Structure 1
Amino acid sequence: MSFQGYLKTIKEKTGKGPEEFRRLAEEKGLTENSELKASTKAGDVVTWLKEDYDLGHGHAMAIYALLKGIKNEDSE
């Protein structure tokens, strides 16, 4: 699945896009000033998204990649 495919599926399942997840991560204390905190691990993000949004591991890792800056909304 392409990165865009992941984002589309996440939006369909949760009703939330990348900007909303960035805001929610900030509210959860996982990011600061739109950057992932050094203390935040991939597992922290994955656990949050699995528990609160019922996302699978791959989809949660896609959001982690956005938060970490590895990928952005235009990535394929």
Structure 2
Amino acid sequence: MTAPVKGPASYFPSIEKKYGRPIEEWKELIRTSPLTKHMELVAWLKSEHGLGHGHANALVAHTLAERDSS
């Protein structure tokens, strides 16, 4: 049996459904943004792209964790 997805990635299906973009597209926007701080990126996703706080926070947390682990 597959373990349920936990953490920020657990938001991904609802993000794709609500905003109509694949997660990889959101992550690429974050990676190519000139902003680098977590809360700056969250605020930018909320103001420029209309994401809710929880969704923006999940995307930023997951993307920055990937960057920091490479």
Fold shared by both chains (TM-score > 0.5): yes
Find the residue that maps to 1:69 and give its secondary structure. helix
Higher share of residues assigned helix: 2
User: What is the identity percentage for the equivalent residue pairs of Structure 1 and Structure 2?
Assistant: 36
TM normalised by structure 1 equals: 0.61
AA aligned to 2:58 is A
Which 5+ residue runs of structure 2 have no aligned equivalent? 1-5
RMSD (CA atoms)? 2.3
TM normalised by structure 2 equals: 0.65
Q: Provide the residue aligned with 2:56 in structure 1.
A: 60
Higher share of residues assigned strand: 1
Deviation readout 1:14-36 (Å, 9 max, x if unpaired): 22233112221233224xxxxxx
Which 5+ residue runs of structure 1 have no aligned equivalent? 31-39, 71-76
